[in-house]
Amino acid sequence: NAGVMQNPRHLVRRRGQEARLRCSPMKGHSHVYWYRQLPEEGLKFMVYLQKENIIDESGMPKERFSAEFPKEGPSILRIQQVVRGDSAAYFCASSSRTSVETQYFGPGTRLLVL
């Protein structure tokens, strides 16, 4: 049973470009969470999604950031017009409907903005 998958693992963008981060939850999991981790800091919640629905986006910056979890395919975290301050590790986690509290994390995408 494959774990949570994320790609790419590393992403380099220049200021002003767009970054797209993908997350495939564990098989059978319908809840996806995105977290951001700045260097030597803890993980900060960004957004919680279920299939085709955003449940809680209270941690998402109001501008440039968006997330989706379509009926088919992976969850996408999209950052438009990236700035240097967006450089971080972005982790997604998934949980199942029957054990919603237990979140399993993916390997993360390390975004570097030049």
Tell me which residues touch another protein (CB under 8 A).
4, 31, 33, 35, 41-45, 48, 50, 55-56, 58-59, 91, 95, 100-108
Minimum distance from CB of 100 to another protein (Å)?
4
Euclidean distance between CA atoms 40 and 37, whole angstroms: 8
Minimum distance from CB of 16 to another protein (Å)?
28
Complex with another protein: residue 59 or 74, whichever CB lies closer: 59
Q: Produce one character per residue of 4-19: b if its CB has 16 or more CB atoms within 10 Å, e if not.
A: bebeeeebebeeeeeb
Please report which residue ranges of 18-75 form alpha helices under DSSP H. none
Complex with another protein: residue 41 or 52, whichever CB lies closer: 41
